[in-house]
Structure 1
Amino acid sequence: MFKLIELNISEPVNQQVYRALRRAIITCQVLPGVLLSEKEISSQFNVSRQPVREAFIKLAEAGLVKILPQRGTFVTKISIKKVIDGQFIREAVECAIIKRVAQEITESDLVLLDKNLAEQIDANKRKDIRSFLEKDDEFHQIIMNVIDCPMAWETVENIKAMMDRVRYLTLEDISPPEDLVKQHKKIVMALKKHDPEMAALALHEHLSTILQTINIVSQQRNDWFVD
């Protein structure tokens, strides 16, 4: 069911299990309504049940699963309201951050962004949607790292969990990667000019795309969505 990971002894096991389960849900390896077995997952990852239980709690906080006492843990459907609310909060946080980034970004930071853009283009050429999604996340994380505020990315990552499921579902034809790459390039261009307002506007245009695409995909996959 899940892509197995090689556990890293330098990082808490529950966090590694959480990330693996989060990735599996977001990339549709596990469908809405599926019952997650604590016993099976602990066996699959060769860990005790405790880190799996802790991962379930964190997934529930992100809205990806629902824990029902005496019944089990189920993958949730995608809440349209939570996606819209998450987009609003994410944009408020990231647009505030990118204005500061535009003033503080260095040449080495820009080199990382250019490298990331090239990797996005390569993932798109290979039609590797999962890899593209990872590079998209990395793009935003590189920008946030400029101001050295790890809590900012942790907050955004938790907020956008439900959004990421929509992003994955729309990448093939509703919101193709080449369009997102163009949006990313506009953001980088603004950062290279050290223009806070231009950067915030480019980011706003990028992040607001989901408000249009969710209407299309929720009609195509009605049984995946609620409210």
Structure 2
Amino acid sequence: MKMPVRTAPGLTDDAGAVAPRRRRRVGHAIAGGSALPDLTAQVSHDARESISQQIFRALRDAIYTGQLTPGTPLSEKEISGMFSVSRQPVREAFIKLVEAGVLQVLPQRGTLVKKISPREVREGRFIREAIEAAVVRKAAGYITDAQLRGLADNLRGQKAAARSNDTAAFLALDEAFHRGIAQAIDCTAAWDKIQDLKAQMDRVRYLSLPDVSPLDLLIRQHARILAALKAHDPADAEAAMRTHLREILVSLGPVAARNPAWFDADEPESVPLSA
């Protein structure tokens, strides 16, 4: 989960002008009488990322964590009002969210948070496994001692988050752990591609913690990956990563059964991607 960015006095719109920041209440009203969580602290005009990219990440994280539930309507006008920007960066963020598979545009109904597609979860996992298996196999041969220490520090942080039952902190560390492996082979493009693939997976992951997928189990899986990297064993590193990424196939069914309103009806693929 992306940590909040320090809020500045104003935000830039797509033309670069600074718009005045107004104090807003938590729970910005949206169409239909529901409330949009206050996400303004997620966006800052002095951040390296564009305003559009920051709005995309703020809305994406709110969808992942269930602050924006399936069926919630979103409009460019209301989101631009929340962030005090023009509609253009919001429109760009919406397009990216549709491409990521978490928003949909329906005739007569507008833009809504999309339900989770079990099939898309399986497809995303299948492609992610192919990429990360190759990445970790290569990393086993090239990872440095300093990078291994960084992953070990991260793993200790995961254990601390598990002890305090802080799933948000755990998920942030989990992201950093996998990103760190891609960075070990200087291939951040691989992680960028994975980010585009795993939107539906991340929503299931959040719903599965900690009851369906215990944090201690995931930590043990991470520890096995790290041990294989320390041993510079490509085959074991790949096997450990594949086992880890297939955990979501175990949790998908129970999570969908517990949260039926969040999921579309399943559409099994003709060739099973879970085998």
Secondary structure at the residue paired with 2:104?
strand
Q: Which amino acid aligns with 2:42?
A: I
Per the alignment, residue 208 of structure 1 pairs with 246
Unaligned runs of 5+ in 2: 1-36, 267-275
Tell me how far apart the structure 1 counterparts of residues 133 and 54 of structure 2 sit (CA, whole Å): 29
Give, in angstroms, the shift of residue 71 of structure 1: 3.4
Mapped contact 2:179–2:188 kept (Cα < 8 A): no
Inter-partner Cα distance in structure 2 for 1:11 and 1:163: 24
TM-score (norm 1): 0.96
Unpaired runs of 5+ residues, structure 1, are none
Match of 1:12 in 2: 50
Supply the distance in 2 between the matched residues of 1:114 and 1:29 (Cα, whole angstroms).
31
Residue 66 (structure 1) aligned to one of 104, 118, 139: 104
- Alpha-carbon distance between aligned partners in 2 of 1:54 and 1:82, rounded to the nearest angstrom: 23
1:138 aligns with 2:176: yes
Q: TM-score scaled by structure 2?
A: 0.80
2:123 aligned to which of 80, 85, 88: 85
Q: Which residue of 1 aligns with 2:22?
A: none
Which entry has the higher C-alpha Rg, 1 or 2?
2
Give the equivalent residue in structure 2 for 1:183: 221
Question: Is the Cα–Cα contact under 8 Å of residues 5 and 20 in structure 1 kept in the other structure?
Answer: yes
| Structure 1 runs (4+) greater than 4 angstroms displaced | none
The match for 2:206 is: 168
Q: Does 1:151 align with 2:177?
A: no
Which of the residues 52, 59, 69 maps onto 1:21?
59
**Cα distance, 1:128 vs structure 2:** 1.5
- Measured after TM superposition, the shift of residue 108 of structure 1 is 0.8
d(CA) in 2 for partners of 1:123 and 1:45?
A: 31
The alpha-carbon deviation at position 68 of structure 1 amounts to: 3.0
Contact 1:35 1:73 in 2 (8 A): yes
Distance, in Å, in 2 between the alignment partners of 1:115 and 1:67 is 42
Moved more, 44-53 or 199-208: 44-53
Greater relative contact order, per chain length (Cα 8 Å cut-off, separation 6+): 1
Match of 1:55 in 2: 93
Equivalent of 1:128, from 153, 166, 169? Answer: 166
In structure 2, distance between residues paired with 1:9 and 1:140 = 24
Aligned partners of 2:246 and 2:228: how far apart in 1? Answer: 18
Q: 1:60 & 1:24 partners in 2: Cα distance?
A: 15
| 8 Å contact kept, 1:5–1:45 | no
| C-alpha deviation, 1:67, in angstroms | 2.0
Whether the 8 Å CA contact 2:43–2:51 is kept in 1: the answer is no
The percent of aligned pairs where both chains have the same amino acid is 48
Would you say how many aligned residue pairs link Structure 1 and Structure 2?
A: 227
- What's the secondary structure of 1:78's corresponding residue? coil
- Is 1:99–2:134 an aligned residue pair? no
Higher helix share: 1
- Aligned-pair distance for 1:123? 1.6
